[in-house]
Structure 1
Amino acid sequence: MRLSRLRLQNYRSYADTELAFEPGPNALLGFNGVGKTNIAEAIGYLSSLSSHRVPQDGPLIRHGEDQAFIRAEAHRGGRTAFLEVEINPGRANRARINRGSAVPAQQILGTLRSVLFAPEDLELVKGSPSVRRRFFDTLAVQLRPALGQLRQDYEKVLRQRNALLKSIRHEGFTPTHESTLEVWDIQLAQTGARLLRARLDMVTALRPHLRQAYQDISKSVRTATMRYLSSLDGHDEDKEPSSDPAPENSALEEAGTDQLAEQLYQGLQSVRKREQDRGVTLIGPHRDEIHFSLDTTSVKGYASHGETWSFCLGLRLASYRAMLEDDPEPGAEPILILDDVFAELDAKRRRRLAELATGAEQLIITAAVDDDVPSILLSNAYRVGSENQISTAVPLKAGENQ
């Protein structure tokens, strides 16, 4: 899977810019602030309908404009597809495939797959549980596009249920509240069970790939792993997980969707009084955590800077390998994007990452310092500059990388 052309209109710093890409490595080189990451972000957005930098679409729109367009020519094996996403903050985004009629943007999911690693990924370890939940949900949506609508459905039910709980907190509990709350309990349990099952499947799929990817990058004898901590098992999002040894697998990983729905429903009943007192839903996938460990020690707060970087990079490479495993058809490999990553790695990790990345059908790299990028990844290199606040990419001349 690869892109041959990418056009950005009113996207971030780009008024109207078109770039051509080649198979294999493509390096975008230039000073910080000229728009390299905007290109990487746009490709990632085309795959997942989300940014790795911001949770909302508003910042993606060029100043003074009210919508943006990302257009691309994508190739999978011998097939070509023309893709377009129209970003409309505050309104429904739309998409077009092969210049057809506009459809809801969700329908483009699955057409193009990519894996993007950026400095922001340190938050996968250091950040809040919501960052880790979003990582797994975004990956699950790329693999199973129908889950995109499921996430929206769950969030809608959660908002409605929380609004009702706040009303109960202020007005007191009435028979009308009881019947309405029962309806939302059932819907939250049903949608939450499907979302929880998808996350558990992602944890199971990534675990062996993470273990191998971490070893490939770090050459460490330590074992990288993860475990899913659910509010159903008493996990409290407001408290840090214990670093005590615990089994990788939980009983939840063996449960079917119907079993999970019943457990969620019963869990909601068990905390109903607490929820009414606090005015918030305390049980469900929105309160869960994914705990990362090296051997039996938590990565967060205990791993060194180098170990943390290797773990985060291992998560992204594990995602890449999980996608390959999910669709082994030739030409279906996801695009691998490394956004300003090499500057954060030592020389050994740079070489190892370069060796691991060269096998990608298409690799997009951004870097502010040319020498940060191993020379084997500079076969197709471009200098990104800024002129009148509009960034453009031009080929890097032979011998310019000095």
Structure 2
Amino acid sequence: MHVKSTLILSTALAGMAFPATAQEVNVVSWGGAYEKSQVEAYNKPFAEETGVKVNMIAADNPATPLKAQVEAGNVTGDVFDIEVSDAIRLCDEGALVEIDPASLPAAPDGTAATEDFVDGALLDCAVANIVWGTVISYNTTKFEGDAPTSAVDFFDTETFPGKRGLPKNPKRTLYLALIADGVAAADVYDELGSDEGVERAFAKLDTIKDDVVWWEAGAQPVQLLADGEVSMTTVYNGRIFDAMVAEGQPFEVIWDGQYMDMDMFVIPKGAPNPEAAMDYLKFATDTQRLADQAKYIAYGPARKSSADLVGLYQDGETEMAPHMPTSPEALENAVMDDPEFWADHDAELSERFNAWLAAS
């Protein structure tokens, strides 16, 4: 499958220069199934190709040790996997190495990396590897007859009865209320940037407030569905995929109103193995490696050229393409996270959201 593309990539990689100045590289990521996907898709082939050992270090949020190490002047990590907002902030603070996008590998057909990565995936100091989403999921055993299909249905507790699970934060809650109220995904931030739009979002949330079970950790919504405490919830797409496919839970995903975000690789200033770190970053974000990662977890590659190379899940049976947050269906009415918007509005919207939660 995809032999031609794979051969082109292998040839391109064979021509890349990997300096032998470092015998190891320290990569700090998030642990769990996500870390496993990176070990299999990136670390093992990189070590085989270069002879450089990859040490994987897990952190609850890799941006935290990165910042602490830079401030202490004692940097031990070489590559960190962090969220977009942290990448922007740390770059602005001068903690990260700038990355020339022209130095990144081209797509197999020669398309430059600057044209091949999805919008927002290349920053001054960061390169995205995955796109992930917050989606709606429901328990199929809770509904007889017609099943829910949209964000509108999530807010329709009369037609589709049962409790709803929502995260206890404004970023991944207010947008969904607006979409359910008829706002196009492309217009969500314009609405949230206005007093009228904020009022509109809270008015829509009011309609289900008494039926909401609030969650704060990523494992909670899956458990809420499994325990029957809610009939529908928003949830991270990778976690619900694992529940559906790996565990056989009777859940389905609704892509309408998906909230998308990315994870990014960065290199801190003062990294102990800077050349090996840059080699690893380039290797791990080429077309084939990003496609390979999708064999282990349902997160979308950050490069367009990776899409056609996404194959089967590690079970050898499940086609991964339909489960990608970057699939055509998933992108139809998706909202991409806007770190700059939230840098400007997070404090005020969080204050308003918390006051709304506390009100009877």
- The normalised TM-score by structure 1 is 0.25
- The normalised TM-score by structure 2 is 0.27
